[in-house]
Amino acid sequence: MPLILPVKGKSPSIGNDCFIAENATIVGEVVMGNNCSVWFNAVIRGDVNSIHIGNNTNIQDGAVIHCTYQKAATTIGNNVSIGHNALVHGCTLQDHVLIGMGAIVMDHVVVEEYCIIAAGAVVLENTICESGFLYAGMPAKKIKPITDHQRELLNKLSENYMMYSKWFTDPEG
């Protein structure tokens, strides 16, 4: 059973048709849209500020979503994929974004739509990641425009994760 707890009188609100893995943790002021998935060992901690997550978003294994007390809430758009062991902290991710495995996105960052943050990248505080580009490195820098194939991937990845979640909830898969 996932750990879903109120903090200071604020309870998570989870949309329809969401998959929450048995050992995921969601606490505090978290509002999640429909058709989302939160995978094994992922933590969404809305204890010190609010976290808002759109529809069709997947938060993969071991990812941590948090915020900063009285300074930086976290907003995640629709059709966002947050890779395994990524850290998303006090920032804004617009629609159709991919945060690669092990990436770190810091406070007050804005990742605009159709953006890819590469695996292992560190996006420093107050950075604006421009729509349509790949960012990589430590610190993350704009590398190149995303390709048409990558844009298609950003459109399909959330659909794939909705399909994967059905494997755990529907015996027919």
The enclosing domain of 76 has a CATH number of: 2.160.10.10
Kind of pairing between the strands at 43-53 and 58-59: unpaired
- Total domains in the chain come to 1
pLDDT tens-digit series, residues 67-107: 999 999 999 999 999 999 999 999 999 999 999 999 999 99
Half-sphere CA count of 10, side-chain side, radius 13 A: 14
**Domain of residue 125, residue span:** 3-169
Give pTM, 2 decimals.
0.96
pLDDT greater than 90 at residue 171: no
User: How many alpha carbons lie under 13 Å from residue 27 in its C-beta half-sphere?
Assistant: 14
Number of DSSP helices (H) and strands (E) in the chain, helices first: 1, 20
